[in-house]
Amino acid sequence: MSPEPYSIDLELAPADNARLSSMCGPFDQHLRLIERRLGIEISNRGVSFRIVGEPAAAAAGEQVLRDLYDVAETEAVSPESVHLQLQQADAEAAAEDTAERLPDVIIKTKRGLVKARGATQQAYLHAMVTHDISFGVGPAGTGKTYLAVACAVEALESERVRRLLLVRPAVEAGERLGFLPGDLAQKIDPYLRPLYDALFEMLGFEKVNKLIERNVIEVAPLAYMRGRTLNDAFIILDEAQNTTPEQMKMFLTRIGFGSTAVITGDVTQIDLPRGQPSGLKQALGVLQDVPGIGFTHFGARDVVRHALVQRIVNAYDAHDRRQERRHRRDRDSGHERRAPDEGPHENGDEA
């Protein structure tokens, strides 16, 4: 006799047809998205819901529905909202077994509050506010650069630092753009656009331009950091996987008194010439046990973009693991074939 499936009955209050419609989406699209993501079944009559599935998944589904109903009170629920709530539920479920939960860190800027979505982002924010140097490493879409810029803006607005430096290596992503016209700023702007976008969202276009004119905010290629000592500054090195070991060492030794540095990157997207080692990959090994440096590693489950981005990251990770296993087998089998043939002895006589 098969066991009775686990179910949760949920009553959302107060009853509001407009909120309910926004939460469920056109033709219940949002409910179907939650079902596919969590592997559960959701049925409802008005604001009365029944969730059927594995206990942990059903509990996560209940929490997502409650959160989305709260969101629907003040704004229209979109597929993006559903994805973000699912992302947060997954991350919180993964963190339930941790012995110690980190205190919440909320970044306050004049444009509003910036909060972590999930346990890994929370650990990242905590590392940035408690360490002078922090590394955020993981795939695209996990919020590494955005959260670092938010921390930098808060530090500037609260006068904990006097200036912001946003740095990025000027390495083309597998393309050769050739000669770029214009002055220095126009030449390097394409490489630094993601940093500008985050700044504009936090501070507004006009204020960012004024702060850049006054040199309070400096956006520059990594090569321009050589020979400088940076005091009372918040420094972000973005796309650090495209630094060489020499550049990474140069950058880390620029940091002066009263400064905070955040290094972000994705070691699976290195655009350096073939055979050139990544400074970020080397630094993660060299500095792992150095006191005072924080490390946060993001994974595919921490992606907060379109749900497909998470699946793409997982697919590439699986492909890389298969390739690595294949190379290891080929290498081992090559050693086995060569082992019997030891070659001549040192005195030149054959065995």
Domain ranges across the chain: 7-95, 106-307
Interatomic CA distance for residues 155 and 165, integer angstroms: 12
What is the structure's pLDDT at 347?
A: 47
What is the structure's pLDDT at 229?
A: 80
What is the structure's pLDDT at 100?
A: 47
Beta strand residue intervals within 152-248, DSSP E: 163-168, 217-221, 233-237
What is the structure's pLDDT at 135?
A: 96
What is the structure's pLDDT at 102?
A: 58
Burial of 235 (0-12, 13-18, 19+ CB in 10 A): buried
What is the structure's pLDDT at 43?
A: 93
What is the structure's pLDDT at 312?
A: 81
**In 163-198, which positions are buried (b, 16+ CB within 10 angstroms) versus exposed (e)?**
bbbbbbbbbeeeeeeeeeeeeeeeebeebbeebbeb
The per-residue pLDDT for range 240-265, each reduced to its tens digit, is: 999 999 999 999 998 888 899 999 99
Interatomic CA distance for residues 179 and 168, integer angstroms: 19
Both tokens assigned to 309: 């981005």
CATH class in words for 7-95: alpha beta
What is the structure's pLDDT at 176?
A: 46
- Which residues of the chain register pLDDT less than 70? 1-4, 90-103, 171-189, 191, 305-310, 334-351
What is the structure's pLDDT at 70?
A: 92
What is the structure's pLDDT at 128?
A: 92
What is the structure's pLDDT at 37?
A: 79
pTM tops 0.85: no
CA dihedral 47, 116, 199, 235 (to 10 degrees): 180
What is the structure's pLDDT at 224?
A: 80
Tell me which fold the domain 106-307 belongs to. Answer: Rossmann fold (3.40.50)
What is the structure's pLDDT at 90?
A: 62
